[in-house]
Amino acid sequence: PETITVAELANRMAERGADLVKALFKMGMPVTLTQTIDQDTAELLVTEFGHTLKRVSESDIDIVASHDADPEDTLQPRAPVVTIMGHVDHGKTSLLDALRGTDVVRGEAGGITQHIGAYQVQVKSGDRITFLDTPGHEAFSEMRGRGANITDIVVVVVAADDGIRPQTIEAINHTKAAGVPMIVAINKVDKPGGNPQKVREALLQYDVQVEEMGGDVQDVEVSALAKTGLDELIEKILLQAELLELKANPDREAEGTVVEAQLDKGRGPVATILVRKGTLRVGDIFVVGAESGKVRALIDDKGKNIKEAGPSMPVEVLGLSGVPGAGDPLTVVENEARAREVAAYRAGVIQAKRTTQAPASLESMFSQLR
Ligand code: GTP
Ligand code: MG
């Protein structure tokens, strides 16, 4: 079977080699950039990173760097995707809530975010911003990692009265690993005993130098409760977004990423998809992870049924064959036979990995010990 080096694959996918090495490590394959991997593994990685497969069969996979697939003149400006991260209880959901002008905190069990919420807000200027909320609980570290990967900008929330905590550091690290710009929101400044300056100084220890400390990381003092500093935060997000010149082609088959998915009693499998490029429409046939389906309904973040969703739009999708995993790529394909073929192929590759790869490497470890 064909093999390819990690570096060459990264090159073809237009991804960073280090990210591939990291993903492979997580899959139980510690390899370096110059080592080769087999076709199945390469295919898994390609899917994992949300790239397009031109042709799929057991022996022949053509990898298309999806970033290059859209010619410059088809690209149109899109809303920035902003992930809110930070330590548990530092006010991520409250801040997002204040930004939305609605109340989601109250509906949550115990006030702790159990999932990644995805919302799009339209601000006074008319600009749109897509926000992803992440949970602060330590069991959700992986989810935060994924959040950082589908985002354009990360807002790290730090409570002025609590300072830098373990998940603040983790959020900083995720942001740096993802190579995306960070904005620090120093929250709860309404509270007596809060010390924003102490937060700015403490951030230096983690190589985060905010503007006031002579660096180039934007920071803003906010209070999600008193609703202060919100306009300034939005301004800084839009300023940062402008520098990034975010664009996507809305006139093509949709590609997206699963933000969250679950089995709903009444509606069956439901996935919240962040559309990355193209436009997802009711009736579209798609593959998502190892599942397939046909879009039965699209529901926006206000609970409204919509007909289509373009780039940077978060949308609930109904009509899936099963529940995909968070972070799985969604790709619209031409027909149902094709969708089932690709889904089955992916399921097979995943299954083969589970049954052969892990025991084999364990075995070799034991034989080395003997
Ligand atoms: P997890 O999702 O559990 O990680 O928490 P979170 O970061 O989303 O925090 P959440 O928004 O649930 O807020 C935690 C607590 O802090 C709640 O009791 C909020 O009312 C409170 N809080 C949030 N923002 C502020 C603020 O600006 N000022 C004050 N005084 N309290 C705040
Ligand atoms: Mg929360």
Predicted confidence band at 358 (pLDDT cuts at 50, 70, 90)?
very low
ipTM over 0.95? The verdict is yes
Does the global pTM surpass 0.90? Answer: no
Q: What is the pLDDT of residues 321-331, one digit of tens each?
A: 999 988 788 88
| Mean pLDDT value across the chain | 82
pLDDT band at residue 215, thresholds of 50, 70 and 90? very high
Give the pLDDT band of residue 129 (cuts 50, 70, 90).
very high
What pLDDT score does 62 carry? 39
Q: What is the pLDDT of residue 228?
A: 96
Share of the chain above pLDDT 90, in %: 43
- Count of Cβ atoms closer than 10 Å to residue 103 Cβ: 11
Q: What is the pLDDT of residue 148?
A: 56
Taking only the tens place, the pLDDT of each residue in 54-66 is: 544 433 343 433 4
225 CA → ligand 1 middle, Å: 8
Please give the residue that has the higher pLDDT: either 115 or 306: 306
Q: Which residue has the higher pLDDT, 263 or 71?
A: 263
User: How do 128-133 and 52-56 pair as beta strands?
Assistant: unpaired
Whether ligand 1 lies within 6 angstroms of the CB of 312 is answered as: no
Nearest ligand to the C-alpha atom of residue 111 = 1
According to DSSP, the residues that pair with 314 across neighbouring strands are 274
Q: How confident is the model at residue 178 (pLDDT cuts 50, 70, 90)?
A: confident
Is ligand 1 within 6 A of the CB of residue 135? yes
Residue 274, classed as helix, strand or coil, is strand
What's the 19 CA to ligand 2 centre distance in angstroms?
Answer: 28
Q: How confident is the model at residue 140 (pLDDT cuts 50, 70, 90)?
A: low
> Which of the two residues, 10 and 146, has the higher pLDDT score?
10
- Say yes or no to pLDDT of 23 above 80: yes
Question: How far is ligand 2, taken at its centre, from the CA of residue 286, in Å?
Answer: 31
Q: Name residue, tokens 């005993």.
A: 193
Distance CA 300, CA 185 (A): 27
- CA pair distance 281, 142, nearest whole angstrom: 30
Q: Is 30 in the pocket of ligand 1 (CB under 6 A)?
A: no
For the Cβ of 136 lying below 6 angstroms from any atom of ligand 1, the answer is yes
